[in-house]
């Protein structure tokens, strides 16, 4: 049994088929466009990746070519002049402890600054969140009340519609029975009128 819609006088199956016919080309167009966008983005990403790879290789090659003479000069100086090695070893050994202290101090102060900044950021964010909540909460309460009132009226209307339909079905006043009853009434009235006019 297919129910007819009150406005379009079409069954739900007809409306569903009509909607599918209209939406299928749109969905196909969206699929095609998204595939084109995906392919274009993939092409762009591959192109950018190739450019970055090429730049990296060129930069690495340039740095290697530029530093190679310095490296070989330093290596030959290191191998042929022992006092240079002594100086580097002495410099590194004497500065190891001060460097460790400096690195520890830098890490400690960096941690303290980040902790202080983190606390300040949390405090500032909390303040602005509370200010936003002061505005947000009344709006949400009002909208919840409006939604509740709307849903209450819609629920009452829905119950009324369902009850009226049940009452009509219980009494037997459906549209088909009403049409049959009206036809019977008009036929009966015609019969009464014709009988009176004959007598």
Residues 6+ apart with CB under 8 A from 4: 10, 11
Q: Which of these ranges, 20-29, 140-149, 153-162, 167-176, has the smallest mean pLDDT?
A: 167-176
Q: How many Å apart are CA 72 and CA 75, to the nearest integer?
A: 5
pTM exceeding 0.85: no
The model's confidence at residue 22, banded by pLDDT at 50, 70 and 90, is: confident
Tally of CA atoms within 13 A in the half-sphere of 112 that contains its CB? 5
Q: What pLDDT digit, counting tens, does each position of 110-142 carry?
A: 999 999 998 999 899 999 989 998 988 999 999
Q: How many residues are given for the chain?
A: 199
The pLDDT > 90 percentage for the chain reads 28
Please check whether residue 32 is in contact with residue 25, taking contact to mean a CB–CB distance below 8 angstroms: no
């Amino acid at each position: 049994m297919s129910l007819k819609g009150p406005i379009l006088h079409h069954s739900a199956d007809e409306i569903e088929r009509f909607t599918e016919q209209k939406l299928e080309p749109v969905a196909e167009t969206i699929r095609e466009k998204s595939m084109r966008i995906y392919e274009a983005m993939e092409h762009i990403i591959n192109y950018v990746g190739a450019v970055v790879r090429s730049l990296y290789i060129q930069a690495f090659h340039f740095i290697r070519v530029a530093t190679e003479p310095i490296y070989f000069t330093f290596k030959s100086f290191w191998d042929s002049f022992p006092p240079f090695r002594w100086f580097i070893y002495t410099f590194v050994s004497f500065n190891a402890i001060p460097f460790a202290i400096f690195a520890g101090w830098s890490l400690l102060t960096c941690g303290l600054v980040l902790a202080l900044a983190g606390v300040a950021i949390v405090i500032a964010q909390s303040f602005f969140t509370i200010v936003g909540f002061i505005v947000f909460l009344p709006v949400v309460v009002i909208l919840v009340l409006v939604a509740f009132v709307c849903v209450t009226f819609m629920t009452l209307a829905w119950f009324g519609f369902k009850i009226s339909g049940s009452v009509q079905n219980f009494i037997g006043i459906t549209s088909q029975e009403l049409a049959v009853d009206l036809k019977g009434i008009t036929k009966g009235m015609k019969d009464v009128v014709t009988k009176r006019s004959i007598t």
